A and B are shown apart, each in its own frame.
Chain A
Amino acid sequence: MNEHAATIDAESSRIRFTITGAVQGVGFRPFIYRIALDHTLTGNVRNTPEGVVVEIQGTSEQTAAFEHDLHHRLPPLASIVTCERKPLTPREGEEAFEILLSTGGEGHSVLISPDVATCPDCLHDMLDPENPRYLYPFTNCTNCGPRYTITRSIPYDRDKTSMACFPMCEMCRAEYTNPLDRRFHAQPNACPQCGPEVWMTDAAGAERSRGPQAMREAARALAEGRIMAVKGLGGFHLVCDATNAEAVARLRERKNRYGKPLAVMVPDLDTASAVAHVSPAEAKWLSGIERPIVILRRRDDSAALAPGLAPDTSDIGIMLPYTPLHHVLFVHYREFAPDGRIPALVATSGNMSSEPISIGNREALARLGGIADLFLLHNRDILIRCDDSVVRIIDPGDGPAPLFMRRARGFTPRPVFLAEDGPSVFGTGPELKTTLCVTKGNQAFVSQHIGTMENLETFGFYREIAAHLTDILQTSPQAVVRDLHPDYMTSRWADEESGLPVHTLQHHMAHAHAVMAENRHEGRALVLALDGTGYGEDATLWGGEFLLVDNIALTHQRLAHFSPVRLPGGEAAIREPWRIAQAYLHELGITAPQNRPWPWLDAHAPASRMCAVMLERGLNSPVSTSCGRLFDAVAAMLDVSLCVDYEAQAAIRLEAIQAMDESHIYECGLTQRADAADVLDTLALFRQVHNDWQAGVDAGVISRRFHLGLAHALADAAATIAARHGVDTVGLSGGVMHNVTLAESLPRLLAARGLTPLSHRQTSPGDACISLGQADYGMRLLKRS
């Protein structure tokens, strides 16, 4: 094969590399083949259960050059986790470098790659009228395309994917078998001759058109204001013209989703910049191979987008096309949309609120038939559900950093690397916005966003992923770690279905372990868990906690917490923040309006009277130290949000109205107590909110003073407590860390006090990180015993 075959001479050396990491199905072997040829080496490469094994033979200059390229010219999707190097005796008579056929057991130590956005080469093929794949919605290569969502089991081979039912044509087969081709061993390789195809149906499933015609007609229907369910990569999207206010309103109405922001897909960075402010860092995230939804600040001068997309904020979630199908859709959409209309399509998860995203054609027709006018379907099955990822780029003081709102498509199943090896452990996650996590060695595999477990379909999805993840990782967890809450579905799953020894970990301790694990921080840290509500060790609902956690000694201590306040009606209070405002007032001894009627008395007077009794009697009014609920209370007091349509809506609105030029800071001290945890006097914070509100101060000014007051109080209290306990590392976790004001200011304020802040960079600070914290804790627990 290799005409530059090296002859053995005195200088010859032979080296064997055993490489693990993302090295399969990502063009790794052809890459090895190419660089071996570049440096005129002989030898071979093969997949083994231990990883990819490469043997090279040549002069020391040649092998050194190879080694350099191995680490510096990796294909875009490949990444090396370990690379073992072993010198061998040179072999006589070897003439070529070969890719050897894999023997059994392939892939066991090899990771399945996440799904990857269409690469520039494939995009080029698709846009070239001369190319056989011109406007073909399913092209891909080893550098791009579907992976995780189409793979049923390992090893990652075509017959284990949903491409198994598409026998390759001659052209595709030739590409697939040619080591120098970009499509060499690209498992989903396809072309219009042999690959999947699209068709469009009405809401009843009756076919309207097929193939290229269907793509054109779909684009036309969208341009005309129709709502369409579009089968994508990890599930269906519901799509409509994002500039058409009426279509957006109709979509919200039918989807039963009010207020919650809708994501928008635009064809390119230029369009993104036309509707939103895009920093260089944001541009990089927008156009990266993971293609998350990036939350951007909307341009004030952009009246083009429908106002109903994100009514509570001035932000907008934008993503770029990540499959050929999206690209083709935009090519046609530009043909049909009238001149001057910005090509922007709403692309929101294809589900009813609270259900998992639909993936099957029939399932989608049944579940989305009441929402979408039309369906753009195809015959490549989605095997694994995976929603779009959502990220925001923030500046916490040391340059731009990602703040994950949702980590799923494009990232799963990429692992979080832990500080150390350990036994395999399963973390169940909590109840809402849950993920699950399985560890293997020093890698923690956090699943994609699964959702709210109360819903039975979502619970089914959870079970699927629990089985799938352990299967593709070829690992058997030794234990499961679950939340303390007895009624979480995940707790029941652990107790009744997992079949494993069950350990429990308090919700906010799990947050703490997660942020420490992600940062590979070993030892002690003070962790601020700024969260909604989690079941506490004293059976109250925690959520504004200063926790001293030692992940080596495995001890933890609750050192301080927010002022305890009741939540009248439990979950009802979380849906109706005005109740929490009344609870704060009650706690302050204010049981009737003073010189200004409470904003909720118009709509909720009888319920407010009942709440007064409930608070008095402690009736179904659990005590909580939640930070998120403090935001709710303030938002309700200021009449920003009396009842919420979606989680965190009150806090999102409260953050959005801040008067940024305001600099007064509310006071909030730490009350030290001898024989109990200290209390951060958040009641005092609320008292100042209430006083200013009574005095008629502008809500935006109050909101700003509140945000500043809370941030400073947290940093000061953290500094005091950290000094007292001799720690200098402060972790930040919990859903409240989605608040950009806090996410950007707290690390700075902590650093200014000489402390080292730890933040989430790989997982969401919200409950999606819980499973990671649980699994890391469990691993440490098993290693100790």
Chain B
Amino acid sequence: MSDKKVLLDYGSGGKASQRLISELFKAHFSNPVLNRLDDAAFLDIAGPIAMSTDTFTVDPIFFPGGDIGSLAVHGTVNDVAMLGARPRFLSCAYLIEEGLEFEVLERIVASMARAAEKAGVYIVTGDTKVVPRGMADKIFINTTGVGTMLTDAYPSGENARPGDVVLVSGTMGDHGLTILAQREGLPLETKVESDSAALNHLTEKLVTEVGDIHVLRDPTRGGLATTLNEIAQSSSVGIQLEEELIPVNDGVRSGCSILGLDPLYLANEGKFLCILPEDKVEKALEVMRADENGHGACRVGTVSAENAGKVIMRTPLGGKRLLNMLEGEQLPRIC
């Protein structure tokens, strides 16, 4: 591979694409399923499975704490994991803008391979398309994941029950603010870093060792506020949050206060929230805090029968406000 840039030929299905597959993807993703290079991957998988797909577009493609490659693995792995499943296999499709430096693509692929290895999943099939300049922005990646279910009583957004407790695995808003600051070249005073990480090992422990996990969700786009609203609506329950208890990194907090953004609406890529009965809380927190992705786990609120469909935040001064889903951007309401 002497070329410096990805050309249209790479997606043509001819020799160029074959080289790409064997020298790049097979080299990095090497695993027994992929290596067969048949038209489809043969998966030896039995019983109920979970499946999820997502397409990743992020600007910039490299950012503190990760890149589009690791993000594409973590995103899908986490979505499968949130159903209480063990992610096993990923597919991976690239849409590449002509002219992307080959070296960049290779870094991304290598990062995906590392992320997949750490998450314990195989990338088993894939596709590459190259489009003319301007038809895409550098690179888009789609991943689809399947995993085996670990429990019949799997967690779901519909299962929050009055009396349950809401836990989060760590600080909120890190990924969203990092991407924004990076993209816009914001002179943030305190460094921020994306939390992008695979959460499946930790969620597996929760599902199997703690059990009775009612809801597991990763608050990605729209942040904690939006995800909790979805849960409150699907479960027809009210959710009360204590503003003081919600962990936010200092850098994120100060950055958000200058930007006028609420970290609770910013995306996370390595955090989850967990809703479970009170008597499981202690054990769950113990399990979470012992894991590298759950050091900052804590309780942030409770579930109630009243105020069904609504998320209510108690402020440190004792006031209560509705934490709404936004119609679009955060727009000033002050008159």
Q: Which residues of A contact B (CB under 8 A)?
A: 256, 352-355, 367, 430-433, 454-457, 459, 485-489, 492, 507, 531-535, 541, 543, 567-575, 606-607, 609-611, 613-614, 617, 619-620, 622, 647, 735, 766-767
* A617:B258 contact, CB within 8 angstroms: no
With a 10 A CB-CB cut-off, give which of B257, B319, B320, B328 has the most chain A CB atoms: B319
* B322:A572 contact, CB within 8 angstroms: no
The contact of A455 among B186, B320, B335, by CB within 8 Å, is: B320
Inter-chain contacts of A606 with B (CB < 8 A): 187, 189, 258
> Which residues, 288 to 335 on B, are CB-close (under 8 Å) to A?
312, 317-322, 324, 326-335
* Interface residue SS majority, chain A: mixed
Give how many B residues have a beta carbon under 8 Å from the other chain's beta carbons.
30
A488 to B329, CA, bound (A): 13
The contact of B333 among A353, A367, A432, A609, by CB within 8 Å, is: A432
With A457-B319, A569-B260 known as contacts, the answer to whether A486 contacts B334 (CB < 8 A) is no
With A256-B317, A610-B187 known as contacts, the answer to whether A570 contacts B331 (CB < 8 A) is yes
* A619:B184 contact, CB within 8 angstroms: yes
* Interface residue SS majority, chain B: loop
The contact of A610 among B188, B326, B328, by CB within 8 Å, is: B188
Inter-chain contacts of B258 with A (CB < 8 A): 569, 572, 606-607, 610-611
A353 to B324, CA, bound (A): 21
B153 interfacial contact with A, CB 8 Å: no
A347 to B255, CA, bound (A): 40
23 contacts between A and B (CB under 8 A): A352-B319, A367-B318, A432-B333, A432-B334, A456-B320, A486-B327, A486-B328, A486-B331, A487-B327, A487-B331, A531-B335, A541-B331, A569-B258, A570-B332, A572-B258, A573-B332, A574-B332, A606-B189, A610-B187, A611-B258, A619-B180, A619-B259, A620-B259
* A622:B332 contact, CB within 8 angstroms: yes
The contact of A541 among B185, B186, B187, B332, by CB within 8 Å, is: B332
Inter-chain contacts of A533 with B (CB < 8 A): 332, 334-335
With A431-B335, A487-B333, A569-B260 known as contacts, the answer to whether A610 contacts B320 (CB < 8 A) is no
* B319:A455 contact, CB within 8 angstroms: yes
A389 to B152, CA, bound (A): 61
**CB-based nearest B residue for A609:** B187
B33 interfacial contact with A, CB 8 Å: no
With A573-B260, A607-B258, A610-B259 known as contacts, the answer to whether A456 contacts B321 (CB < 8 A) is yes
CB distance from B239 to the nearest CB of A (A): 13
* B334:A532 contact, CB within 8 angstroms: yes
B261 interfacial contact with A, CB 8 Å: yes
Inter-chain contacts of A647 with B (CB < 8 A): 334
**CB-based nearest B residue for A572:** B260
A697 to B334, CA, bound (A): 32
A456 to B323, CA, bound (A): 10
> Which residues, 153 to 192 on B, are CB-close (under 8 Å) to A?
180, 184-189
What does the 1/0 interface line of B135-165 toward A look like (CB < 8 Å)? 0000000000000000000000000000000
CB distance from B35 to the nearest CB of A (A): 46
* B331:A534 contact, CB within 8 angstroms: no
* A457:B334 contact, CB within 8 angstroms: no
What 13 new A-B contacts, CB under 8 Å, besides A431-B333, A614-B259?
Answer: A433-B335, A454-B333, A456-B312, A487-B327, A489-B322, A567-B332, A571-B333, A575-B334, A610-B259, A619-B184, A619-B186, A620-B329, A620-B330
CB distance from A592 to the nearest CB of B (A): 15
A432 to B335, CA, bound (A): 7
Q: Which residues of B contact A (CB under 8 A)?
A: 180, 184-189, 257-261, 312, 317-322, 324, 326-335
CB distance from B189 to the nearest CB of A (A): 5
**CB-based nearest A residue for B312:** A456
With A619-B259, A767-B335 known as contacts, the answer to whether A454 contacts B322 (CB < 8 A) is yes
* A457:B332 contact, CB within 8 angstroms: no
The contact of A534 among B187, B259, B335, by CB within 8 Å, is: B335
CB distance from B104 to the nearest CB of A (A): 24
* B321:A488 contact, CB within 8 angstroms: no
Q: Which 9 A-B pairs have the closest CB atoms?
A: A569-B260, A572-B260, A486-B327, A456-B320, A532-B335, A570-B332, A571-B332, A570-B260, A574-B334
* A610:B322 contact, CB within 8 angstroms: no
Inter-chain contacts of A617 with B (CB < 8 A): 184-185
A531 to B332, CA, bound (A): 14
A432 to B334, CA, bound (A): 7
CB distance from A621 to the nearest CB of B (A): 9
A705 to B24, CA, bound (A): 70
Inter-chain contacts of A486 with B (CB < 8 A): 327-328, 331
**CB-based nearest B residue for A366:** B318
A256 to B184, CA, bound (A): 37
A456 to B240, CA, bound (A): 12
Inter-chain contacts of A568 with B (CB < 8 A): 260
* B321:A455 contact, CB within 8 angstroms: yes
CB distance from B241 to the nearest CB of A (A): 12
**CB-based nearest A residue for B324:** A487
Inter-chain contacts of B312 with A (CB < 8 A): 456
**CB-based nearest A residue for B325:** A487
Inter-chain contacts of A431 with B (CB < 8 A): 333, 335
CB distance from B305 to the nearest CB of A (A): 16
* B335:A459 contact, CB within 8 angstroms: no
A617 to B183, CA, bound (A): 10
CB distance from A477 to the nearest CB of B (A): 24
Inter-chain contacts of B318 with A (CB < 8 A): 352, 367
Inter-chain contacts of A610 with B (CB < 8 A): 186-188, 258-259
Inter-chain contacts of B330 with A (CB < 8 A): 570-571, 620
The contact of A454 among B188, B257, B321, by CB within 8 Å, is: B321
CB distance from A580 to the nearest CB of B (A): 12
Inter-chain contacts of A622 with B (CB < 8 A): 331-332
With A456-B312, A570-B332, A610-B258 known as contacts, the answer to whether A492 contacts B324 (CB < 8 A) is yes
With A459-B322, A568-B260, A573-B260 known as contacts, the answer to whether A485 contacts B333 (CB < 8 A) is yes
Inter-chain contacts of A487 with B (CB < 8 A): 324, 326-327, 331, 333
With a 10 A CB-CB cut-off, give which of B258, B318, B329 has the most chain A CB atoms: B258
The contact of A430 among B320, B321, B335, by CB within 8 Å, is: B335
Inter-chain contacts of A573 with B (CB < 8 A): 260, 332
CB distance from B255 to the nearest CB of A (A): 8
**CB-based nearest B residue for A434:** B335
A256 to B178, CA, bound (A): 34
CB distance from B303 to the nearest CB of A (A): 17
With A569-B259, A620-B330 known as contacts, the answer to whether A613 contacts B184 (CB < 8 A) is yes
With A456-B322, A610-B258, A614-B259 known as contacts, the answer to whether A571 contacts B187 (CB < 8 A) is no
Inter-chain contacts of B320 with A (CB < 8 A): 455-457
Inter-chain contacts of A570 with B (CB < 8 A): 260, 330-332
A432 to B331, CA, bound (A): 14
**CB-based nearest B residue for A543:** B335
A569 to B318, CA, bound (A): 26
**CB-based nearest B residue for A568:** B260
Inter-chain contacts of A492 with B (CB < 8 A): 324
With A352-B318, A457-B320, A487-B324 known as contacts, the answer to whether A572 contacts B257 (CB < 8 A) is yes
